[in-house]
Amino acid sequence: MYQNSLEFASQCDKEDSLSHFRNKFHLPTNDAGEALIYLCGNSLGLQPKITSEYIKKELNDWANLGVEGHTEAEHPWLPYHEFLTEKMAMLVGAKPQEVVVMNTLTTNLHLMMVSFYQPTDKKYKIVVESDAFPSDKYAVESQLKFHDFDPEDGLILWKPREGEELCRFEDLEQIMVEQGDSIALLMIGSTNYYSGQSFPLKRITELGHKYNCIVGFDLAHGAGNIYPDLHNTGADFAVWCTYKYLNSGPGSLGACFVHQRHAENPKLKRFAGWWGHNKQTRFNMRHDFDPLPGAEGWQLSNPPILSMAAIRASLDIFAEAGFENLRKKSVKLTGFLEYLIDELKDERISIITPRNNQERGCQLSIQVKSANKELHDRLTAAGVISDWREPDVIRVAPAPLYNSFEDVFRFAEKLKKILN
């Protein structure tokens, strides 16, 4: 299906109905003004050209209207988060009521655990995949400690087997068989940031629920990359950020999913703030806390509109491209990358990420035996922006919105040259 030539890559770009989206982004350049090969959208997505207009609009409304912008701006600031909800919900397969854009990822993770991690003396343990992102691990460890449990005992790692790099579902089943009665929460990264492995979210949820556990997912590397179909998985909650595949700018806001079945449960404990309060009486300031139904009820503060404007710009681009189209291109683009890496026929190289495209997003994690960071530095000097993880893994993530088949081909050529 693939061919190892620049002509083939160019032909794929010509046939790609999404290729014009590349022009909608600012591509970083070297000192000579040439575009770099940017394969780091899993760390920080590129800036859409329309983003500055969306932000400028809010700056102008603020300049011209002052406080009146809350109600009089073209996109009034009071309900501004609502302008994001529908498109964000569509991207993750949720109902609008189940999704809200707010805070940042780790903050949302804590807020979710405050509500959904309610340990008892007998049922208190938390399962995470080993090689979970450090922030997630710190968050769950600190929740255990907050409830006076020792992470040594309370934190269970779902690990790859000796000599393997990927987690097997059977091993999670085994953990549940052995310790399910004492486990309160499964908190899994939907797509692992290190290996690029996408987990079977529905099966994990069903497994967790069978043992009366809460199941939450971190979609930091899933949102905008794979289709997590959140509502249908039945997961209790999920959190994600918007600055990776969602191209909304460094440190931009995160988002949160709370399954419909929890929408109006008055027994759920939560940390509350005024933005989660009933919109009708929010400004009377005299009422007891009356949470909004659904995910919105977890909001704390009135949100930063400038960041939300960037998210609105990004979601408009996703809606225009259509996620199904993007995913289709992504499968082909990453498949091409995989083919070219295999074509190097270099014994030092192995791809850690699953070979089955249903078990991965766009990222490939490439292990280069006996390499060190110098390899990455040389790639950078050659104009490739990728990501290095100690001890010997390069992570590359061709993003279907702005990466081309030619990018992928040129990356493989440069890698080959450096390895030789």
Does the protein bind ligand PLP through residue 136 (CB under 6 A)? yes
- Residues 54, 80, 116, 133: which binds ligand PLP (CB under 6 A)? 133
Beta carbon nearer to ligand PLP, 186 or 263? 186
Does the protein bind ligand PLP through residue 220 (CB under 6 A)? yes
Output the six-digit token pair for 343.
């074509």
- Measured distance CA(332)–CA(327) in Å, rounded: 9
Q: SS3 for 351?
A: strand
Decide if 204 contacts 188 (C-beta within 8 A).
yes
- Residues 44, 128, 241, 412: which binds ligand PLP (CB under 6 A)? 241
Output the six-digit token pair for 186.
């499964």
- Measured distance CA(71)–CA(165) in Å, rounded: 52
Beta carbon nearer to ligand PLP, 106 or 143? 106
Bridge pairing between strands 183-189 and 125-129 = parallel
Does the protein bind ligand PLP through residue 131 (CB under 6 A)? no
Q: How far is the CB of 134 from ligand PLP (least distance, A)?
A: 8
CA-nearest of 299, 295, 319 to 95 is 295
Does the protein bind ligand PLP through residue 25 (CB under 6 A)? no
Decide if 380 contacts 373 (C-beta within 8 A).
no
Question: Among the candidate windows 104-112, 142-150, 230-238, 372-380, which touches ligand PLP by CB under 6 A?
Answer: 104-112
Q: How far is the CB of 149 from ligand PLP (least distance, A)?
A: 22
Sign of the alpha-carbon torsion through 267, 272, 278, 281? positive
Beta carbon nearer to ligand PLP, 69 or 254? 254
Beta carbon nearer to ligand PLP, 4 or 135? 135
**By 3-state DSSP, what share of the chain in percent is helix, strand and coil, each rounded to 5?**
45, 15, 40
Collect all residues with Cβ–Cβ distance below 8 Å to 113 and sequence separation of at least 6: 139, 140, 143, 185, 187, 216
CA-nearest of 324, 258, 15, 235 to 114 is 258
Beta carbon nearer to ligand PLP, 220 or 292? 220
* Region 252-291 residues binding ligand PLP, contact defined as CB under 6 A: 254
CA-nearest of 245, 242, 238 to 205 is 238
Output the six-digit token pair for 105.
């990822």
Beta carbon nearer to ligand PLP, 12 or 311? 311
Question: Which residues are annotated as part of the binding site for pyridoxal 5'-phosphate?
Answer: 105-106, 133-136, 218, 221, 243, 274, 302
* Region 34-63 residues binding ligand PLP, contact defined as CB under 6 A: none
Does the protein bind ligand PLP through residue 141 (CB under 6 A)? no
DSSP 98: G
Output the six-digit token pair for 167.
């987690």
- Residues 221, 259, 262, 312: which binds ligand PLP (CB under 6 A)? 221
- Measured distance CA(353)–CA(360) in Å, rounded: 7
Question: Among the candidate windows 80-88, 214-222, 325-333, 361-369, which touches ligand PLP by CB under 6 A?
Answer: 214-222
Does the protein bind ligand PLP through residue 128 (CB under 6 A)? no
Q: How far is the CB of 399 from ligand PLP (least distance, A)?
A: 15
Site string for ligand PLP, 170-209 (x = CB under 6 A): -------------------x---x----------------
- Measured distance CA(256)–CA(240) in Å, rounded: 7
Does the protein bind ligand PLP through residue 135 (CB under 6 A)? yes
Question: Which residues make up the interface to ligand PLP (CB under 6 A)?
Answer: 104-106, 133, 135-136, 189, 193, 218, 220-221, 241, 254
